[in-house]
Amino acid sequence: MYLLWLRVAAVLYGLASMSALPAVLGDRPRWQKVCLPLTIGGWFFHFVAFVEMLAAAHRLMPVGMYQVESTLGLLIVTAFLLIWMRYRTISFGVFALPLAFLVVLVPAIGPDKYTFSSSLVRSGWIVIHVTLLLAAYVALIFSLLASLFYLAQERKLKDRESPGFLEWLPPLDTMDRIAQTTLVFGFYCMTGGLLIGSLIAQERVGAAYFLDPKVVLSFLMWGLYVVMLFVRRSTGLRGKRAVYLSSAVFVVMLCVWAANIFSSVHRFTTP
């Protein structure tokens, strides 16, 4: 029975993760009111599943990879809720909730690897996974270009020089909004692509996909993405520093592409 409660918790964590993005990065209070109840509900069902899991195993400590992963996810959400109770902030939900969802996903599926109902369904999810990640890469490239153009145009204005070949560019404020909008759009696409890719990879290799070099670099890029969005939102980062941050994520993106050579998870083919 604990598997049912764990699956309910995983679904609630996934919904809470999606609501945390606009709640934190978009500073929308309405989404904050959605995120917290979903997280608390997920924690409750997760705790019930945890107790039943230990009772069924007749142990006081988790044993085995699936039980350890489930316990880790519960501790992550517990820490997030304790921080919220003490400091009344859900900012860490952008990190904690997606991580908890990914950690709980594999044990929630069960001891047997999930298999898609048909090759057509699996192929469709792979197409969505690849499309979202490519869209994220494109959005990041446009954000980097907008930041570079912003920096060049800003220097021209500070030096009181004629715009020259840059006169066709829009105003600085417009360039900054383009960089920010494409950055946020790319982050949403990357988050969705990674979540779907995790489910697809689980069918083939299970939880071992966390050890794959491309997966590790992908989540590193995702983490840098979050840091960049936080910094831009909290400090109004523009100009040279914005270019540096965008360039750092872009370099990691290139490393992710290069990691295909050594990746075992990303060698599956669509039927």
Q: For 150-166, what is each residue's pLDDT tens digit? A: 777 777 666 666 555 55
Average pLDDT of the segment spanning 31-53: 91
Three-state SS across 222-233?
HHHHHHHHHHHH
- Cα 143 from chain centre: 18
Tell me whether residue 17 is exposed, middle or buried, using C-beta atoms within 10 angstroms of its C-beta: 0 to 12, 13 to 18, 19 or more: buried
Query: Does residue 220 carry a pLDDT above 70?
Result: yes
Helical H segments across the chain, by residue range: 2-20, 29-57, 65-87, 93-109, 119-158, 172-205, 213-235, 239-258
Q: Which residue has the higher pLDDT, 145 or 269?
A: 145
Confidence (pLDDT) at 78: 95
Average pLDDT of the segment spanning 53-68: 77
* Widest pairwise Cα distance in the chain: 77
Confidence (pLDDT) at 9: 93
Q: Return the top range by mean pLDDT from 6-15, 102-111, 159-168, 208-217.
A: 6-15
Confidence (pLDDT) at 181: 82
Q: Which DSSP symbol is given to 91?
A: T
**What are the domain boundaries of the chain?**
2-109, 119-267
Q: Return the top range by mean pLDDT from 204-213, 215-224, 262-271.
A: 215-224
Confidence (pLDDT) at 234: 66
Average pLDDT of the segment spanning 59-66: 73
CA distances from 248 to 8, 225, 243, 254, 269 (A): 37, 9, 9, 10, 30
